[in-house]
A and B are shown apart, each in its own frame.
Chain A
C-alpha cells in the first residue's frame, strides 16, 4: 500500500515555543491531507483538512492561528503548533487519500507532542 511518513515521531518542547510536524506522501500525490489529534482514551478528532495550494479547512473549535497548516506541494503538509502550552500535549496524526472520494486513507505514524 501507499506510504505516509510523519516526522518527528516524538517531540518535547518548552512552553511558548513552536513545533512543526511534517506529513509526507512518499509514493503518491495527495491534493488533500487530514490532521487529527488524539487525547488519551479518546477518539481521533479531525482538526483540519489540508488542501494543496489553498487554505486549510478547520473544524469547529480548532484555532487557526494556533495550528498553522501549510500544504505547499502535492506530497507535503506541515502542522505548526504555535506558542505551545502544556494543554497542547497530545498525539497528532495525519492521513492522505490516494485518489478521489471514498478511497483508502493512509496514515502517518503519528507524533507525540509533550509541552513542558
Chain B
C-alpha cells in the first residue's frame, strides 16, 4: 500500500538557518504530494503541493520538488524564522488507490526555531 516516510524530529535550528525536512514515498499509482503544517493549537493547513513529476510547490519561502526518480518530496527553506516553529507533515493522495481525496501522512516532523 501507499506510505510516506519523513525524518524524525524534533529539528532545532537557529533563526536564518537553512531547513531541509526529508520525505520519501511509495505509491501504487500516480500520487499528488503535499506538505501540511500544524501550528500549536491549530489544525493542519496546506503549505504546498505538487501534482506531477518535476513540479515544484512553493509558499511562504518553503519549496519542495516532486522527484519521481528518487520518490522524494523534500521540504526546504533558505532562512527559517521563529514563526516557522510548527509540526510539518508530508502526505500523498493516490488517485488510483485512494480515490483522489484520501491522504496518507508521514509521522510529522516538529521544527523548533530559536533566536
Contacts and interface: CB of A to CB of B under 8 A. Distances in A.
Interface of A: 1, 4, 6, 32, 34, 36, 41-46, 49, 93, 95, 97, 101-110
B60 to A, nearest CB: 14
9 contacts: A34-B101, A43-B108, A44-B105, A46-B104, A49-B102, A102-B32, A102-B101, A106-B43, A107-B36
B95 interface: yes
Contacts of A103: 101
B57 interface: no
Given A46-B102, A101-B95, 14 more contacts: A36-B105, A41-B8, A43-B104, A44-B108, A49-B102, A95-B103, A97-B101, A102-B32, A105-B101, A106-B43, A107-B36, A107-B44, A109-B42, A109-B43
B100 A102 contact: yes
Interface string B76-106: 0000000000000100010100011111111
B44 A93 contact: yes
B110 to A, nearest CB: 10
Nearest to B3: A43
Given A102-B32, A105-B46, A41 B107 contact: yes
B102 A6 contact: no
A interface majority secondary structure: strand
Among A44, A95, A110, which residue has the most Cβ atoms of chain B within 10 A?
A: A44
Contacts of B103: 34, 44, 46, 95, 105
B51 A102 contact: yes
Given A43-B107, A43-B108, A44-B89, A101 B101 contact: yes
Contacts of A104: 46, 49
A1 B47 CA distance: 12
